[in-house]
Amino acid sequence: MEEIRSEQSHHVVHNPWDRREGDISAEEVRHFLADSGGIESHRTIRHAACHCGCIKPPGGFCSACQEMICVDCFSRCEACGKPVGPWCSGLIQNTTGQILYLCRECSSSVKRRKIFRAISFPFRMFLSLFVEFEE
Ligand SMILES: [Zn+2]
Ligand SMILES: [Zn+2]
Ligand SMILES: [Zn+2]
């Protein structure tokens, strides 16, 4: 069969952290002239998996590791609002038993009492939910 035409399309996303573009899916269509005289078309669709391993539409890019995370695994730190993926975040329980989703920095801030005096007031108020300050 003789190939008479091909088409390629790429769905690309832009990574805001490293400023590169990456394919999230690509489609290729190749048209052939069949021996019988008709036209035969072959279409291939490729989906890239997100860094979390899921083959799902991307939800965003993790601000810590800069990887593309799918809609299900992507989230935001409940303290600072930074976009984070599952490996760069953790759950932490406050003194009232409420479970919160925090980026690594915020969860280690919560654990490290020393730095509390250096941080801004609203954030300090937020942290006071977790631990008692030593005045
Ligand atoms: Zn990450
Ligand atoms: Zn995922
Ligand atoms: Zn945070």
Is 13 contained in some domain? no
Domain that holds residue 110: 75-135
Is 118 contained in some domain? yes
Domain total in the chain? 1
Is 104 contained in some domain? yes
Report the predicted TM-score, pTM, of the whole model to 2 decimal places: 0.72
| Residue-by-residue pLDDT tens, the chain, 135 positions | 899 999 999 999 999 988 899 899 999 999 999 988 899 999 999 999 999 999 999 999 999 999 999 999 999 999 899 999 999 998 887 667 778 889 999 888 877 654 444 455 666 667 666 665 544
Which run of H or E residues covers position 37? Answer: none
CA of 70 from ligand 1 middle (Å) equals: 12
Is 15 contained in some domain? no
Is 61 contained in some domain? no
Residue 129 one-letter amino acid: L
Q: Which bound ligand lies closest to the C-alpha atom of 51? A: 2
CA of 101 from ligand 3 middle (Å) equals: 9
Is 44 contained in some domain? no
Of the candidates 59, 90, 66, 93, the residue with the CA atom closest to the CA atom of residue 77: 90
CATH of the domain at 82: 2.30.170
